[in-house]
Chains A and B, each alone.
Chain A
Amino acid sequence: MAVQTSPATQQSAVLVSTDWVAQHLTDPAIRIVEVDVDTKAYGEGHVPNAVGWAWDTQLCDTVRRDIIPKAKFEQLMGQSGIDNTTTVILYGDNNNWFAAWALWQLKIYGHKDVRLMNGGRKKWIAESRELSTDTPKAATKSYQAKDPDYSIRAFLPDVQKASAERSAQLVDVRSPQEYSGEILAPPGLPETCQRGGHIPGAKSIPWGKACNEDGTFKSIEELRALYGGSGITGEKPVVAYCRIGERSSHTWFVLKYLLNYKNVRNYDGSWTEWGNLVAAPVEKP
């Protein structure tokens, strides 16, 4: 069994509260960034001094399907006033779906200190905290990304092997209706597929089960019971997937940083890759 450090210690390094953010709004060592599913949300009002990133144009390769290229990532970080020593605080709507997606990419490119605001945009608004519509003018900084660390990213061959040989545990974090194949995509989300169902061998643990009603993460004990109850204990490699990789980033974050599992990867190809793949095996309950 892998040696694990205290989850509480890990949690403090990757999660901050809304109170903490409110006390650090003008801290020059910190850059707050909002990343939403709804890319218009930032403009309607955001945490003061936060910059906004659009997941569909700024956090991806806009030509081929891929994460943001290294050079563009460096440019985005620098233009956002972020250098290699900046503490980046990410938050967003839908309980931090795409904030977690952004965090995953920052980790791929080796950013040292990046954290989520626990509860995301929802909690900030529910607590009646100030919203700004001003876009902060960040002084451009120099940023050097590391070569991508793909030990936290699963590609199709990895997942095919995991499914066929059970060499890693697959966690399907979509809704039960997507897992069963009853629907191909949730209402309101356009990216879909040709077949419904799930990757053979995958366990269904919807991402939202890791959250409290206020959008914050459940306690370490509750999370351990949630995943452990389905046999996801961290003793074997884990691959999380959803539809396009953002909900699974959320679960990846939980497993990697809250439960401190050592070998966890996010399969960002997810169901929009697998469910469109000719001759791919599909399991349906």
Chain B
Amino acid sequence: MPKPEEYSERKGELAGWAINIVTYRLGATYHTTIDNTDPGAWVVKAEAATKQDAEAKAMKEAQALLEKVKKSKPPTGCTSVPGF
């Protein structure tokens, strides 16, 4: 059975959100998860053959999604956006 290797975790900021970037290798594939640190929900996941590619792919997708999250000024109503 495979074991996850090369586990790494670091914090950063993207589109004004604090994020947490976790990457590990499982077999020949690198898996990256980006979550926003508070509340900690995952935002995107990505896979690639290298750590750099997996993280770059995840960062690109996370940036696009996080930029769409609007800050609410009620009574403007619901701020959910497609893709979320």
Alpha-carbon gap, A208 to B36, bound state (A): 12
Alpha-carbon gap, A48 to B24, bound state (A): 18
Chain B residues near A131 (CB-CB < 8 A) = 1-4, 26
Contacts A128-B4, A192-B79 given; indicate if A183 touches B72 (C-beta within 8 A): yes
Q: Which A69-125 residues have C-beta < 8 A from chain B?
A: 93-95, 122, 125
Alpha-carbon gap, A178 to B65, bound state (A): 18
Q: Which B47-84 residues have C-beta < 8 A from chain A?
A: 65-66, 69, 71-72, 74-75, 77-80, 84
A-side interface residues, number (CB < 8 Å): 41
Whether the Cβ atoms of A188 and B41 lie closer than 8 Å is yes
The listed residue with most A CB atoms (<10 A of its CB), out of B74, B75, B80, is B74
Q: Which B1-58 residues have C-beta < 8 A from chain A?
A: 1-5, 7, 9, 17, 22, 24, 26, 31, 35-45
Chain B residues near A192 (CB-CB < 8 A) = 78-80
Interface on chain A toward B: helix, strand, loop, or mixed SS?
A: loop
Whether the Cβ atoms of B38 and A94 lie closer than 8 Å is no
Contacts A45-B26, A182-B71, A188-B84 given; indicate if A130 touches B3 (C-beta within 8 A): yes
Whether the Cβ atoms of A183 and B38 lie closer than 8 Å is no
Contacts A45-B2, A125-B24, A192-B79 given; indicate if A207 touches B7 (C-beta within 8 A): no
Chain A residues near B22 (CB-CB < 8 A) = 122
- Any chain B CB within 8 A of the CB of A206? yes
Alpha-carbon gap, A194 to B77, bound state (A): 5
Binding site for B on A (CB under 8 A): 37-38, 44-45, 48, 93-95, 122, 125-126, 128-132, 174-178, 181-190, 192-197, 206-208, 247
Binding site for A on B (CB under 8 A): 1-5, 7, 9, 17, 22, 24, 26, 31, 35-45, 65-66, 69, 71-72, 74-75, 77-80, 84
